Amino acid sequence: MTNLPILTLITFVPLAGALLIAFLPRGRPDLARWAALITSLVSFVLSLLLLPAFEVGAPGFQFKEQADWIPAFGIQYKLGIDGISLALVVLTTTLSWISILASFGPIKDRVKEYMISFLILEVGMIGVFVALDTFLFYIFFEIVLVPMYLIIGIWGGANRIYATLKFVLYTLIGSLLMLVAILATAFSFQALNGGNWAGAFDYEQLRGFGFDPGFQAFAFLAFALAFAIKVPMFPFHTWLPDAHVEAPTAGSVILAGVLLKLGGYGFIRYAVPLFPDAAVTFAPAIIVLSLIAIIYGAIVALVQPDLKKLVAYSSVSHMGFVTLGIFVFQQQGLEGAVLQMVNHGVITGALFLCVGVIYERTHDRTIARMGGLAAPVPVYAALLGFFMLASLGLPGLSGFVGEFLVVLGTFDVMPGAAFVAMLVVVLSAAYLMWMFQRVVFGELSDFLRGIGHHLTDVTPVELLTLTPLVALTLLLGVFPGLILELLHGPVNDVIAAVSGGTVIAR
């Protein structure tokens, strides 16, 4: 595999599929569906081939691909992965084919355009995790905006235009500031490098370069704002519930499962290692905002009348653990943050699929109108209960391990912050179990009784989308070391950067 451009293939196979679908006849939506599914499955299989070939513990990025792109400014087409990237790439390819399969039934209009948008979205998401050139990273980071704008704006709910414009405006403002910081970083590098542009956008050369503390503060804030909006951190979270509620089911799955992770990944890969002095300076403020997000998201979820909005606010709370784990700069906390990103993607993606299943039958998400689902749809009720328990952090399921490591790492550095974060365990149990009790148990509600024969249990296709996520939730809950052993080296490098140590050559 050393001579095979495996990362390029994983990244751009979906683009080839999108081009193929563009030439398919409009009157055959079934061809577009199957072409998109097969394309995403090819990318998924290729990403799985990375797992046995990846050398755990080896220094440096692996499977590197490099070519000059704009040599006058030192901009390259440069790809590579470490353990953090690998985990997130596999998460992305997994959720992509599941989301496309989940769209077979619900998406009936403009199927060609929908599948093309989804595959281009996959290109951008994978590209973010494998890019090792800051300009290339920015291109992939921005590519994601356009297809998600279309997916929400065309195939979303009644208030979709407001939601999609809010999503784009928030993320675009942050991204443009990050572009300014990327260019400023390149100019600063070449000025300190004798006017030589070579390496001015190369992540491996920029990391550990030692920029002026004042410049670091400016650049870190610009990067951090872009990533904070994407996570999203409090108080930049207000676009998320609207986008989730209006997006089609598969859009919500990808939004929660992968797009939010672009922010967490950006902090770990770029903001902290490139500007470590500024990261340490601003860490207390970010920790406070993370704690607010953890508690606030849970409290607001507790009072939500809409099932989808409840899951959306739970994401704000759970992603608060990610930023908390990153900025305590402690081994267990940072590894827990990455693990939490993966686990949140699996569990919350599954919860949105479960919301989509019941919405397709009832065309309603109001919790008060549900009730008594256990009798007519027992398999669905069991699946919803399983992922509900995983989300609240039941030991033995994957949701427990990441949050536990974050709290453990935080306790080692800031015991008070760890205690505040632990309060969310009670709140999570409250809003999730209360939701489950109202939706699943009791007498069948009058609203559901009126639906009658439309209230059917999960179909084989729906079961096929949820079964892999059940398996992953169990597997990563019992064997979290499968992910954690990939993270030791990259996490050590980040901690070494902020502690003033020498960054391990990677």
> Domain range spanning residue 335?
287-506
Residue written as tokens 């999730």?
432
With CA atoms as reference, report the closest residue to 369 among 433, 305, 461: 305
> Residues of 416-440 as b/e, b for ≥16 C-beta within 10 angstroms?
ebbebbeebbebbbbbbeebbebbb
Residues 337-353, mean pLDDT to the nearest whole number: 94
185 inside domain: no
Single-letter residue type at 210: G
Residue written as tokens 């193929």?
20
Tokens representing 120 are 């281009």
Bond into 235 cis (ω within 30): yes
Least confident of 127-136, 243-252, 338-347: 243-252
CA 322 from chain centre, in angstroms, equals 11
454 inside domain: yes
Residue written as tokens 């499955």?
41
Tokens representing 389 are 């328990």
Least confident of 81-95, 114-128, 445-459, 478-492: 445-459
166 inside domain: no
Distance CA 200, CA 208 (A): 13
Three-state SS at 499: coil
Q: Is the pLDDT of residue 119 over 90?
A: yes
With CA atoms as reference, report the closest residue to 99 among 149, 151, 142, 140: 151
Instruction: With cut-offs at 50, 70 and 90, classify the pLDDT of residue 1.
Output: low
Average pLDDT for the chain:
89
Distance CA 12, CA 221 (A): 32
Q: What's the number of domains the chain is made of?
A: 1
Would you state the torsion angle of the CA atoms of residues 101, 105, 107, 108, taken in this order, to the nearest 10 degrees? Answer: 140
264 inside domain: no
350 inside domain: yes
Distance CA 174, CA 405 (A): 30
Distance CA 501, CA 506 (A): 14
Residue written as tokens 């992540």?
203
Is residue 394 packed enough to be buried (19+ CB in 10 Å), middle (13-18) or exposed (0-12)?
middle
456 inside domain: yes
Is residue 364 packed enough to be buried (19+ CB in 10 Å), middle (13-18) or exposed (0-12)?
middle
314 inside domain: yes
267 inside domain: no
State the pTM of this model: 0.92
Residues 168-175, mean pLDDT to the nearest whole number: 89
Distance CA 338, CA 266 (A): 12
Instruction: With cut-offs at 50, 70 and 90, classify the pLDDT of residue 108.
Output: confident
Q: What is the pLDDT of residues 225-247, one digit of tens each?
A: 999 999 889 888 888 888 988 88
* pLDDT for residue 290: 93
> Residues of 106-138 as b/e, b for ≥16 C-beta within 10 angstroms?
ebeebbbbbbbbbbbbbbbbbbbbbbbbbbbbb
* pLDDT for residue 236: 87
Residues 53-68, mean pLDDT to the nearest whole number: 88
Q: Is the pLDDT of residue 491 over 80?
A: yes
